[in-house]
Amino acid sequence: MAPYIFKILRFNPKADPMPYFQEYNVELEPSDSVLEGILKIQDEIDPSLAFRYSCRGAVCGSCAVVINGKFNLACRSLVKNVKTEEIVLEPLPNLEIVKDLIVDLQPFWKAYEKIRPYLIPKVIPEKENLVSPKEERAIDNFINCILCACCYGSCPVVTRDEKYLGPAALAKLFRFAGDIRDKGHTDVLDEIDIESGTWGCDTVFKCVDACPKKVRPTDGIEALRRKTVLRKSKRLIGVK
């Protein structure tokens, strides 16, 4: 066991005038995760500390936070890998704080809902509809998204434009629009052919840096742009 200092942003909008940092000293094994540290603080020191988690295995995305300035999942960040004396924890930016490390994800889910995140098949197949490895590779990276919202929290366009759909929703749209079995999500592509959709991204790659699952949302957005331009060009010259 070794001593660790956790400095956690606390804020209850119903009771506190301003957010503030609270320090906790906690003994942990170096191989423990940041999430285990938070759970220990809640169990043994301060039951009022609020945070969200579920799977503890980097699959559900619920425990996304900012750890010493970097976006990550608390469950997959080991305390021994945080290379400073203090482990500073803050909630995801760009989303309202509900309490402490819990943010209101409604804007993130509303953007996700807009892209209709499901396969719209070209034909209803009579048997298994196989995809070749090459076709799968084109969308594979975007399938890995676990909807943790780290990218949404990191994006400067979301900060200045609350209508912007954000990196996760747009990358997930390409996961379906680029799927050979899908109709191409053409209605959605037309609906979001606007500044707060396909064209909002400033290509600053913050979302790529923030993603704990190595998804590259910027690449998905660029692919959507190419698809949209191609569709418009074909329409102009009367090709279906």
Footprint of ligand F3S on this chain (CB under 6 A)?
154-155, 157, 167, 201-207, 217-218
Residues 107/112/113/119 CA torsion (nearest 10 deg): 180
The answer to whether the beta carbons of residues 63 and 74 sit under 8 Å apart is yes
Nearer to ligand F3S, 99 or 206 (CB): 206
Chain positions 35 to 64 lying near ligand SF4, rule: CB under 6 A, are 61
Percent helix, percent strand, percent coil in the chain, to nearest 5: 35, 15, 45
Closest distance between ligand F3S and the C-beta of residue 39, in Å? 31
| Binding flag, residue 151, ligand SF4 (CB under 6 A) | yes
**3-class DSSP assignment, residue 102:** strand
| Binding flag, residue 74, ligand SF4 (CB under 6 A) | no
- Binding partner selected for residue 204 from ligand F3S, ligand SF4, none, CB under the kind-specific 5 to 8 Å limit: ligand F3S
Among 65, 149, 170, 177, binds ligand SF4 (CB under 6 A): 149
Quickly list DSSP for 41-94: HHHHT-TT-------SSSSS-TTEEEETTEEEEGGG-BGGG--SSEEEEE--TT
Closest distance between ligand F3S and the C-beta of residue 74, in Å? 22
Closest distance between ligand SF4 and the C-beta of residue 132, in Å? 25
Closest distance between ligand F3S and the C-beta of residue 102, in Å? 23
| Binding flag, residue 157, ligand SF4 (CB under 6 A) | no
DSSP-assigned beta bridge partners for residue 192: none
Closest distance between ligand F3S and the C-beta of residue 146, in Å? 17
Sheet containing 2-10: give its strands across.
20-28, 2-10, 86-90, 64-67, 70-73
Residue 11 tokens read as 């804020």
- Binding partner selected for residue 150 from ligand F3S, ligand SF4, none, CB under the kind-specific 5 to 8 Å limit: ligand SF4
> Looking up tokens 């003994």, which residue turns up?
27
Question: Cα separation of 177 and 167, whole Å?
Answer: 15
| Binding flag, residue 169, ligand SF4 (CB under 6 A) | no
| Binding flag, residue 217, ligand SF4 (CB under 6 A) | yes
Residues near ligand SF4, by CB under 6 A: 61, 145-151, 167-168, 171, 210-211, 213, 215, 217
